Amino acid sequence: MLRLMSCLLFAACLLIPPVLVTGAEELPATPVPDTLPQTTGEILGWIGQLESPDLAVRLRAINALGSRGHLAAPAVVVLARQLTHESPLVRAHAANALGQIGPASRPVVEELAKLLGDSESMVRREAVQALAQIRPGPEVSLPLLEKLLDDADPAVQNHVLHAIADLGEPAVPLMIKGLADDKMAYWSCIVLGEIGPAAAPAVPALMKRLGDPRPLVVQETVLCLGKIGPKAADAVPELLGLLDKDPSGMGLAVVHALGQMGPAAVTASTTILPLAESDDPVLAAAAAWTLARMNPDNETWKVRATHALVELFKSPDQVVREAAVRALAELKPGPEVVIPALQTAFQGADEPTILAAISAMATVGEPAVPGLTKALKIPQARRRTAMILAQMGPVAKAAVPNLIEALSDNDPLTRREVLLALASIGPEAKEAVPALIKAMDDSDEDASTIAIFALGSVGPAAIAVKPRLVENLADVESFRATVSAWALAHIDPSCEQTAAKSVPLLVRALSNGKSENARTEAARALGAYGPLAKSAIPALNNAMKDESPLVREAAEEAVEAVSKKD
């Protein structure tokens, strides 16, 4: 019961019952070539393999084309032929590939839609997902998806619901229609809640569902109205009526929904006020949070809500603790309010409370750095703290000494996070260079590689490590060599000798079809070398056609830098 109540507390996630995700099978993995096609000629080569009698060869070609995204547009028509193959694996993989290609697959939407009635749920699920990626438009998608909501397979229903929600506002009329159907009402509430404020036209229909005899439908309706927010304020009287009828059963859901409406629901303050004195700490904190949201200029309620939420960090229920952290973030109290409350929570706290307090500190930003720095000394909190400091970046520079000390942690996963935090701090972490050089010999291979990345992030101040990085370049097939090449580009970008050895490795990284980040960083490193990376211009020009906008932007900037005069 407590878990259900805490889930309702701040409704951070859709309350989709377990049946929606149970039994969802993954599309069987099929190897993708290490060297992916980058030219039309190579893509045509994969197209030629689509008719291979060898099923493994055929699947490999389908996946290779899908992995190239919009660049594989010439393969759309031929891939569509695979949708009628006798093997459900081929049909599913072909649908997946067409989805990855995206809008360029619109000419074959009709063929793809036929798979919505396939005998295999895996195939139906991939077809739904592909249609969501292709986005043929609501006039095509909605009728198709509406039919599938009756699918017996919960995994398919789950994909259908998300696909409809992804359509946004155009899906609202269909969901309003669904609210009038007893079978569809629950699902319609889930989708409308995911759409959020744009679902405001559905408020009158949702208000009618508040009288549904099924508690689960009423609960989802209440949460949906909350997610619509201030535009659902017309429902305030009906929501308060639910409190009068069954304050224990729907209290948390109603209180939270009213809080999400904010000042638009301020007329409910008088009714909510007594709930803030409840013996139930969860309900009392929720009521205080709602009153603070309804009255944003009332500092008294903001302080009271902050302390009540921090008290929930001590709850034995993880869901309650996490909900309290999210609620505190939504409340946005100033550091002068939240820091003292969090420091109190730290005193004599157990591990779950400490972790909850650390997560809450992240919402405060830079003023929380001193507190997070102290948290690095708590072994069970160290990894989570390092992750938060990494998100803060250079503003967390005051934590560098304690991060250096934390590199001696026995847990390799923790050491990795500490190294990533130092990398995120960048040049401001220059005092960590000796420790980072030592970390290159870490027994954990991933940690030692991240140490190289961190040294590159520090930049020229890490020049002492240059000889070791140059040695790493010799093993051209290793990932360590590529990371070293990237680091050298940031530590000593003007050295002709290291540039000559590094540029070929970075050019190879530009064709890493599996990692958008690797391609982006390779382009940026080549740009850092400037004119010394002129030999990379053809590869960079090709990267300017990459499916990723980040890669294209980085490649464009690199070409400009590389093309400059010496």
DSSP readout, 50-86? GG-S-HHHHHHHHHHHHHTGGGGGGGHHHHHHGGG-S
Amino acid in position 155: A
The CATH topology of domain 473-566 is: Leucine-rich Repeat Variant (1.25.10)
In a 3-state reduction of DSSP, which class is residue 278?
coil
Asked if residues 170 and 201 have their Cβ atoms less than 8 Å apart, the reply is no
> Which backbone phi and psi does 334 adopt, to 5 degrees?
-70, 160
Query: Per-residue confidence of the chain (566 residues) as pLDDT tens digits?
Result: 223 233 323 222 222 222 222 233 455 555 544 444 445 667 888 888 888 888 888 999 998 898 888 888 888 999 999 999 999 999 999 999 999 998 899 888 888 877 877 778 788 878 877 887 887 765 666 566 566 566 556 666 666 676 677 767 878 888 888 888 787 788 889 889 989 999 999 999 999 999 999 989 999 999 999 999 999 999 999 999 888 775 556 788 999 999 999 999 999 999 999 999 989 999 999 999 999 999 998 989 988 998 888 888 878 887 887 788 778 778 777 767 666 777 666 666 667 777 777 777 766 677 778 878 877 887 877 888 898 899 888 999 999 999 999 999 999 999 999 999 999 999 999 999 999 999 999 999 999 999 999 999 999 999 999 999 999 998 888 889 999 999 999 999 999 999 999 999 999 888 876 788 888 999 999 999 999 999 999 999 988 988 888 889 999 999 999 887 65
Distance CA 64, CA 59 (A): 8
Q: Which has the closest alpha carbon to 167: 211, 200, 203, 131?
A: 131
CA dihedral (279, 284, 287, 291) in degrees, to 10, reads 110
> How many angstroms separate the most distant Cα atoms in the chain?
79
Distance CA 310, CA 359 (A): 11
Interacting residues of 108 by C-beta distance below 8 A, sequence separation 6+: 76, 77, 79, 80, 83, 98
Asked if residues 265 and 295 have their Cβ atoms less than 8 Å apart, the reply is no
In a 3-state reduction of DSSP, which class is residue 129?
helix
DSSP assignment letter at 408: T
Give the start-to-end residue ranges of the domains of the chain: 473-566
Q: Which has the closest alpha carbon to 375: 416, 343, 407?
A: 343
Angle between helices 479-491 and 516-529 (to 10 degrees): 40
Say what the pLDDT of residue 23 is. 32
CA distances to 294, 337, 338 from 341, rounded to whole Å, are 22, 7, 5
Distance of CA 284 to the CA centre of its chain: 31
DSSP assignment letter at 565: -
What b/e readout covers 230-241, taking b as 16+ CB neighbours within 10 angstroms?
ebbbebbebbbe
Distance CA 553, CA 531 (A): 18
What DSSP line would sit under 504-557, residue for residue? Answer: HHHHHHTT-TT-HHHHHHHHHHHHHHGGGGGGGHHHHHHHTT-S-HHHHHHHHH
Say what the pLDDT of residue 5 is. 30
Distance CA 513, CA 291 (A): 51
CA distances to 119, 528, 531, 536, 541 from 560, rounded to whole Å, are 53, 11, 10, 12, 11
